[in-house]
């Protein structure tokens, strides 16, 4: 059996010899290999007889050992390398899981001295695959549209000033890290980099020579071959984390040795002069300094080569499900991770963030732990923001009016952070970690007095068919699985309600909560809301459910049954909110998120304040907002408020994700609940004592 045939067979009887200790730590390796049932052990010279296949990294020492062990035992081997769409950050710069991997049973793609599986796939795409060109064209279009490369730790800022003179020529020379095995594998060395630089100058008289440094060189992890060339007249060393696709648009010609950016440049439509023999050279698509006799047998198009490399050679991992996935799905995941990382790069000091939320905030916004500081002092945060020329990002509910004025005086922008709408399994007041957060640059969603990013998004965004279809599926997921903000479970149920009376649910709120104080309503308490509901609906059967933060004893609000029953017919405390919503005909709210959850479940909702979901034609509104003139469908509301507006963090992988991943994690928790940590347990115990004291004081 050949090594290629070992993949995707289940491998229940296979004993796999790993020639790298690092591979033993790669939890996703069985998934990448399609061998979930195989047994993996570290291979040593003393125990090689027991293994069925050997695995190592490319032409590194582990790959050499895997090849040697396999040949000695007449067994197959597999060589691995990172795929062509790997991650946001290079792993040597910052721990970043690989979303793609290449698995080669013939060699490895960057070693031109020997055949590789990719080389064979390129020949096959050119000679035998009539659909390869169409697939490759779609791949190239997708990469160009999404602006994706192997590593994506860059900004979208222009590398050069726009509007260069028409007569000016820019030539891009791509540097690499010294000692990179892909350089040696491409039959090149340091002299080829010097030769390339000279050719770029001699072949383009008067041109400006731009030398693009490798991300690991920029990060100070490794040196480059041409790091000293930027000091020469007519040369510019580009060390900024600029978008390579933006850079390609500003140059006329590209020079490379073996960097994957050379292939990216070809896909960007740029003429490429190549001074090594990387996988994309020798096929007649580039101007090559060297040659490879094996690659004269086929003349693939660029599209056919892209199909072979991205569609057939690379394997892709869904990090959230630990399953193999497709190029298209990986593009979406990587594009999302890139957007979050870019947003995190522009974030400044963080102010008034509760210490138990620091880890989640840092991971959710992909913030570097050493450069991103959390402050308790507003003066120090503003000073730090001025030095870094960045905004202050503060926990919205803890912002005092004075902070707004001080930021304005200092010329510092103020961004607001708040919990998202599908937050956690458990209350935030009990220190449960958030799985979603809001970062709003203009306001905050619950402040009816001012615009917010969410309000602007809902008022102006063009919701395409793909996004609306995703929103429809999300509504079904949320409702059929009883997903809410806190996802609390409770033992009680509602039975015996009158069938001949209108049943109205009134959700209580935390009375010092900013969403109450800034709702735009004159009503400021649950008692006032209950009174207003009763006056407007004297014959209705009114159900009151206190807010879970109030019930837990952690926050102030209406919790006494006797006080609520002056206006309500039924007081329900330990009933899940979805059960209460299902039991009612209408929901009357001040600004509670329960109104939004009622809309998802097809209930009529009346708003006495102006929560984010009011004013768009979906609710009966006591107040009006002149800024909200657009009429929305429930799918558009969900697309804006649940998909586009919040940031989500997968609690398992600690990666930014979408709401669908969060729903799956909540469902997994229901099947196999995890014990709360010491901090959560102590906080819940404190709430228990507070509730007990309240009952005694009654």
Task: Give me 483's structure tokens.
Answer: 């997903």
Of 60-64, 305-309, 637-641, 685-689, the range with the lowest mean pLDDT is 685-689
* Helices 132-146 + 260-267 axis angle, to 10: 100
Domains and CATH numbers, the chain: 3-124 (3.40.50), 125-317 (3.40.50), 479-647 (3.40.50)
Q: Supply the pLDDT for residue 697.
A: 47
Q: Supply the pLDDT for residue 369.
A: 65
Q: Supply the pLDDT for residue 2.
A: 47
Tell me if 50 sits within 8 A of 88, measured CB to CB: no
**Residues contacting residue 599 through CB under 8 Å, at least 6 positions apart:** 605, 613, 618, 619, 634, 637
Task: Give me 656's structure tokens.
Answer: 């930014």
This prediction has a pTM of: 0.86
Q: Supply the pLDDT for residue 1.
A: 39
To the nearest 10°, report the CA torsion of 44, 45, 51, 57: 60
Residue 550 has pLDDT above 80, yes or no: no
Residue 531 has pLDDT above 70, yes or no: yes
Residue 157 has pLDDT above 70, yes or no: no
Which residues are registered as beta bridge partners of 503?
Answer: 541
Task: Give me 419's structure tokens.
Answer: 């919990």
Q: What is the pLDDT of residues 640-667, one digit of tens each?
A: 999 999 999 999 999 999 999 999 998 8
Of 24-38, 413-427, 553-567, the range with the lowest mean pLDDT is 553-567
Q: Where does the pLDDT of residue 69 fall: very low under 50, low under 70, confident under 90, or very high at 90 and above?
A: very high
Task: Give me 684's structure tokens.
Answer: 């819940």
Tell me if 657 sits within 8 A of 666, measured CB to CB: no
Q: Say which residue, 165 or 405, is predicted with more confidence.
A: 405
Of 30-39, 314-323, 470-479, the range with the lowest mean pLDDT is 30-39
What mean pLDDT comes out for the span 667-672? 82
To which residue do tokens 């570097």 refer?
Answer: 368
Tell me if 569 sits within 8 A of 542, measured CB to CB: yes
Q: Where does the pLDDT of residue 261 fall: very low under 50, low under 70, confident under 90, or very high at 90 and above?
A: very high
What mean pLDDT comes out for the span 98-114? 95
Q: Where does the pLDDT of residue 367 fall: very low under 50, low under 70, confident under 90, or very high at 90 and above?
A: confident
Q: Say which residue, 430 or 109, is predicted with more confidence.
A: 109
Burial of 61 (0-12, 13-18, 19+ CB in 10 A): exposed
Q: Where does the pLDDT of residue 205 fall: very low under 50, low under 70, confident under 90, or very high at 90 and above?
A: very high
Q: Where are the beta strands (DSSP E) in 121-252?
A: 170-174, 208-212, 235-238
């Amino acid at each position: 059996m050949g090594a290629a045939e070992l993949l995707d067979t289940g491998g229940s009887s296979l004993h796999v010899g790993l020639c790298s200790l690092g591979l033993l730590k790669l939890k996703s390796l069985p998934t990448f290999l399609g061998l979930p049932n195989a047994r993996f052990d570290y291979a040593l010279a003393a125990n090689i007889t027991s293994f069925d296949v050997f695995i190592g990294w490319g032409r590194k020492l582990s790959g050499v050992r895997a090849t040697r062990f396999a040949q000695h035992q007449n067994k197959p081997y597999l060589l691995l390398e990172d795929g062509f769409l790997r991650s946001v950050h290079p792993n040597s710069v910052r721990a970043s899981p690989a979303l793609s991997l290449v698995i080669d049973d013939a060699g490895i793609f960057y070693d031109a001295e020997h055949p590789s599986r990719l080389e064979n796939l390129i020949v096959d795409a050119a000679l035998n695959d009539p659909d390869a060109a169409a697939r490759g064209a779609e791949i190239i279009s997708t990469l160009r549209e999404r602006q994706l490369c192997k590593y994506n730790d860059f900004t979208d800022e222009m590398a050069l000033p726009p509007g260069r003179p028409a007569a000016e020529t820019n030539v891009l020379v791509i540097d690499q890290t010294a000692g990179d095995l892909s350089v040696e594998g491409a039959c090149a060395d340091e002299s080829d980099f010097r030769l390339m630089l000279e050719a770029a100058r001699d072949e383009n008289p008067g041109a400006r020579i731009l030398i693009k440094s490798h991300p690991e060189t920029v990060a100070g992890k490794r040196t480059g071959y041409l790091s000293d060339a930027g000091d020469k007249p007519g040369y510019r060393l580009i060390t900024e984390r600029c978008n390579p696709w933006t850079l390609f648009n500003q140059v006329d010609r590209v020079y490379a040795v073996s960097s994957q950016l050379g292939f990216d440049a070809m896909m960007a439509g740029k003429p490429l002069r190549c001074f090594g023999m990387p996988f994309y050279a020798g096929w007649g698509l580039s101007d090559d300094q060297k040659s490879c006799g094996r690659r004269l047998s086929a003349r693939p198009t660029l599209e056919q080569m892209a199909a072979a490399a991205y569609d057939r050679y690379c394997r892709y991992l869904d990090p959230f499900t630990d399953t193999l996935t497709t190029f298209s799905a990986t593009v979406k995941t990587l594009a999302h991770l890139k957007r979050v990382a870019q947003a995190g790069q522009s974030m400044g000091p963080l102010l008034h963030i509760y210490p138990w939320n620091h880890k989640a905030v840092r991971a959710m916004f992909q913030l570097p732990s050493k450069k991103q500081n959390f402050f308790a002092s507003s003066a120090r945060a503003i000073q730090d923001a001025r030095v870094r020329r960045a905004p202050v990002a503060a926990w919205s509910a803890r912002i005092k009016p004075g902070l707004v004025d001080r930021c304005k005086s200092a010329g510092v922008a103020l961004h607001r952070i708040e919990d998202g709408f599908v937050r956690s399994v458990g209350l935030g007041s009990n220190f449960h970690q958030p799985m979603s957060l809001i970062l709003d640059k203009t306001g905050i969603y619950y402040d009816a007095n001012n615009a917010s990013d969410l309000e602007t998004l809902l008022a102006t965004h063009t919701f395409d068919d793909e996004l609306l279809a995703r929103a429809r599926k999300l509504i079904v997921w949320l409702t059929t699985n009883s997903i809410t903000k806190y996802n609390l479970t409770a033992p009680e149920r509602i039975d015996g309600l009158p069938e001949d009376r209108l049943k109205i649910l009134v959700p209580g709120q935390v009375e010092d909560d900013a969403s109450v104080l800034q709702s735009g309503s004159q009503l400021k308490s649950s008692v006032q809301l209950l009174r207003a509901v009763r006056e407007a609906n004297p014959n209705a059967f009114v159900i009151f459910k206190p807010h879970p933060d109030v019930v837990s004893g952690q926050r102030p609000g209406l919790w006494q049954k006797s006080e609520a029953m002056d206006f309500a017919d039924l007081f329900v405390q330990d009933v899940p909110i979805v059960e209460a919503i299902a039991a009612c005909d209408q929901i009357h709210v001040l600004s509670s998120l329960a109104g939004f959850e009622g809309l998802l479940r097809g209930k009529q909702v009346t708003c006495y304040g102006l929560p984010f979901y009011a004013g768009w034609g979906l609710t009966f509104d006591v107040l009006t907002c002149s800024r909200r003139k657009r009429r929305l469908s429930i799918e558009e509301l969900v697309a804006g408020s649940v998909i586009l507006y919040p940031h989500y963090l997968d609690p398992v992988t600690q990666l930014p994700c979408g709401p669908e991943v969060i729903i799956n994690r909540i469902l997994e928790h229901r099947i196999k609940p995890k014990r709360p940590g010491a901090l959560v347990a102590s906080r819940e115990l404190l709430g228990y004592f507070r509730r007990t004291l309240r009952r005694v004081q009654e």
